[in-house]
Amino acid sequence: MSGLLLRAATRVSTPWKNGGGETTTVAVFPEGAGLSDFDWRISIARVDGDGPFSAFPGIDRTLTLLTGGSLALNGHVLTPDSAPFAFDGALPMQALVTGGPVHDLNVMTRRGRFSHSVARVRGPVALGGVPAVRLLLALEDGYRGLSRWDALLVGPHEVAKVTGEGTGLLVVMTELPG
């Protein structure tokens, strides 16, 4: 396995932009960027209850529920089995949590600079040498060398193969010409 291994155990929690909870950054570009100057950001948040989501004008977001009951965003219901939900980060979003606290994966890219996609994957994953940044987040312990919520970050044109019978989320971020 090549690429940069990002261990879940080493992540540090930071406050949400609106102060309503905490998030842990999985990866951010440029490295060390804050909430106002990132080009792309991938994080995991724990949502304990109902409330507003932080607004991020100029940012495209995709939310995927990892654990818990359900999370409704302006009527769009997410469960751990549902497809990722993409939306404009500037839109006011009200979250309603059912079935206790939930954890979500939040992928954000700065519009006009990067685009992204999020897909569920199962089994071995080959990350071919394409002109995009790819991140595989392990949802369980089934991938060799990755524990639950560990991630493998692979840069543009790098190649990596993850073996095992795990399940995960594959995030692809493509830099836009500009």
The angle formed by the CA atoms of residues 60, 147 and 54, to the nearest 5 degrees, is 25
pLDDT digits (tens, 9 = 90+) for 39-65: 999 999 999 889 998 899 999 999 999
Fold of 114-175: Jelly Rolls (2.60.120)
For 7-37, write each residue's pLDDT tens digit: 999 998 888 877 777 899 999 999 999 989 9
- List, for residues 73-112, the tens digit of each pLDDT value: 999 999 999 999 999 999 999 999 999 899 999 999 999 9
Backbone angles phi, psi at 171, to 5 degrees: -110, 130
Residue ranges per structural domain of the chain? 10-110, 114-175
* Single pTM value for the model: 0.94
Q: Determine the Cα–Cα distance for residues 5 and 93; give it in Å rounded to an integer.
A: 32
Half-sphere exposure at residue 130, Cβ-oriented, CA atoms within 13 angstroms: 11
- The third-level CATH classification (topology) of the domain covering 10-110 is Jelly Rolls (2.60.120)
Of 119, 117, 112, 110, which is closest to residue 90 (Cα–Cα)?
110
CB-CB contact of 81 with 64 (8 Å)? no
